[in-house]
Homo-oligomer: A and B are copies of this chain.
Amino acid sequence: MRLSKRAESIQASPIRKLAPLAVRAKARGISIYHLNIGQPDIPTPEAYLKAVQRYGGPVLSYGPSDGLPELKKAVSTYFAANSIEIAPEELIITTGGSEAALFALNLVGDPGDEVIVPEPFYTNYNGFATLAGMKVVPVTTRAEDGFHLPPMEDIEKKVTSRTRAILVCSPNNPTGTILAREELEGLARIALQHGLFLIGDEVYKEFTYDGGHHTSLLELPEVRENAIVVDSISKRFSACGARIGALISRNEDVIDMAMKFAQARLCPPTIEQLGAAEAYKLGRDYFDGVRTEYQQRRDALLEGLSAHSGIYVKKPAGAFYMVLRLPVDDTESFARWMLDEFEVDGETVMVAPAAGFYATPGLGMNEVRVAYVLQIPRLKKAANILVEGVRAYNRSRGRSVAAGS
């Protein structure tokens, strides 16, 4: 039986593909520091859990396709507290940010159309684009530039007659970079010039450090009709398993059409929406604590990694990821070796090889993504094991540490 081309061509998750090696390592009694996935260990807010526990039925019925009114209102209120006016009618609750991203691509393009995405990027954009039949056109960003955007003319050169949108993630997964307002304004000029949509994956919006601020596409009045924002509670409230997100746009046609997609899949999960609505009522100070915790983790991880002069990273300003350049030839081989052959007192570290975050073949071979989603003492140990691992890996290959670029 021949399956569809899209089924054959869709990328297996590069983040999850090393999972079987981790299972084997655990079977050998090794414990693993999972720096490879963005699964926060911060407790889900009590308010969320209590709302779930309060749910008494009697009939767990379909909700509205655009989400429960109380959740839509809570999201609107949350944005207002961020000085962004979004009416409940300007957003649709989705089954995770994933569904919002998939809806966004399906809204802006047809099979064969293109979307420009700065790389490295969240790998599942590949999957969503494949499902939508669209082509991801990468714009390479570099570690030396802190993964900020290249000159706007380099981005504009990528625009073709098939380009429908530019998709940016800020604060960024995998790099932690926060795009400056000027960068977004540059993209806005390109979007207006060429009639493109701007899709903003802003799910890490609250995770900004050192007093920094994230500018939303929704704050740029000139792209009122062009901007579509993908949002999610997964990281915001440490509720990844809830699968509650939102698609936000002030463009009425976008919302009207997205509503048709939403109706086709009936509704997002009801009980999880009840939890989300309560979490959104927590107020701004909830985030202060979370932000402080992540900033300290980032700093602890960076300090631990600084023990190896061959590990290159610029301090990222947001999210809870960073891309490290390692002094090894192939980080996928290194990541496998860490799971299969390395340990320090029965412990090792799992990282995500970065090649899967690039669309351009050959890039990211000496980079890994790490997430700082563990408590500080554990992060420090993980950093130490990673440093030792890099040294041991190169010794095992007869490569001197100094040879690392």
- Chain A residues with CB under 8 Å of chain B are 1-8, 10-13, 16, 37, 39-44, 48-49, 52-63, 65, 95-96, 98-99, 102, 106-111, 113, 124, 126-128, 130-131, 133, 164, 195, 197, 225-226, 238-243, 251, 253-254, 257-258, 260-261, 263-272, 275
Q: How far is the CB of A384 from chain B (nearest CB, A)?
A: 25
Q: How far is the CB of A164 from chain B (nearest CB, A)?
A: 7
Given contacts A3-B254, A44-B59, A269-B241, contact A111 B127 (CB under 8 A): no
Q: B1 to A251, Cβ gap below 8 A?
A: yes
Q: B63 to A43, Cβ gap below 8 A?
A: no
Q: B41 to A3, Cβ gap below 8 A?
A: no
On chain B, the residues within 8 Å of A58 by CB distance are 43-44
Q: A265 to B43, Cβ gap below 8 A?
A: no
A300–B30 Cα gap in the complex (Å)? Answer: 64
On chain B, the residues within 8 Å of A128 by CB distance are 264
A377–B10 Cα gap in the complex (Å)? Answer: 52
A127–B5 Cα gap in the complex (Å)? Answer: 20
Q: How far is the CB of A122 from chain B (nearest CB, A)?
A: 11
Other-chain residue from B3, B53, B263 in contact with A253 (beta carbon distance below 8 A): B3
Q: A195 to B60, Cβ gap below 8 A?
A: no
Given contacts A12-B260, A128-B264, A260-B7, contact A269 B253 (CB under 8 A): no
A109–B58 Cα gap in the complex (Å)? Answer: 40
Q: A127 to B264, Cβ gap below 8 A?
A: yes
Q: B96 to A63, Cβ gap below 8 A?
A: no
A122–B261 Cα gap in the complex (Å)? Answer: 15
Other-chain residue from B164, B195, B261 in contact with A131 (beta carbon distance below 8 A): B261
On chain B, the residues within 8 Å of A16 by CB distance are 65, 263
Q: Which residue of B lies closest to A254 (CB)?
A: B3
Q: Which residue of B lies closest to A237 (CB)?
A: B60
A261–B42 Cα gap in the complex (Å)? Answer: 28
On chain B, the residues within 8 Å of A263 by CB distance are 12-13, 16, 124, 127
| 13 contacts across the A-B interface (CB closer than 8 A) | A1-B225, A1-B253, A1-B254, A3-B257, A4-B107, A5-B110, A52-B271, A62-B240, A95-B95, A98-B266, A127-B260, A240-B267, A269-B269
Q: A270 to B257, Cβ gap below 8 A?
A: no
Q: A242 to B260, Cβ gap below 8 A?
A: no
Q: B108 to A3, Cβ gap below 8 A?
A: yes
Q: How far is the CB of A203 from chain B (nearest CB, A)?
A: 12
Other-chain residue from B44, B57, B61 in contact with A57 (beta carbon distance below 8 A): B44
4 closest A-B pairs by beta carbon, nearest first, are: A127-B264, A241-B270, A7-B257, A13-B263
A260–B128 Cα gap in the complex (Å)? Answer: 11
Q: How far is the CB of A215 from chain B (nearest CB, A)?
A: 21
On chain B, the residues within 8 Å of A258 by CB distance are 7
